[in-house]
Amino acid sequence: MPKMKTRRSVAKRFRKTASGKLRMAHAYRGHLLTGKNRNRKRRLRRSDFASRADEKRIGVLLPYR
């Protein structure tokens, strides 16, 4: 049986924590930041966790993580 390939695009966006959750960065922080208020930009700086519903689908794309 050949090795399963990891989706590199997904591997760059998600990190698995010690408890098994998937940590990710927020969207909407790349550009057009002048229209967003200070509190919103500060909240977007922090990382977030992928939803439980998406974890199974993302896990298939990251077989060795």
Whether residue 21 is contained in a domain is answered as yes
With b for 16 or more beta-carbon neighbours within 10 A and e for fewer, the 11-43 pattern comes to eeebeeeeeeebebeeeeeeeeeeeeeeeeeee
What is this structure's pTM?
Answer: 0.80
Whether residue 14 is contained in a domain is answered as yes
Per-residue pLDDT, 65: 80
Whether residue 19 is contained in a domain is answered as yes
The answer to whether residues 55 and 1 touch, using CB atoms and an 8 Å cutoff, is no
Whether residue 2 is contained in a domain is answered as no
Range of the domain at 35: 8-61
Q: pLDDT digit string (tens) for 24-63?
A: 999 999 999 999 999 999 999 999 999 999 999 999 999 9
Whether residue 1 is contained in a domain is answered as no
Whether residue 20 is contained in a domain is answered as yes
Per-residue pLDDT, 40: 97
Number of structural domains the chain divides into: 1
CATH number for the domain that contains residue 17:
4.10.410.60
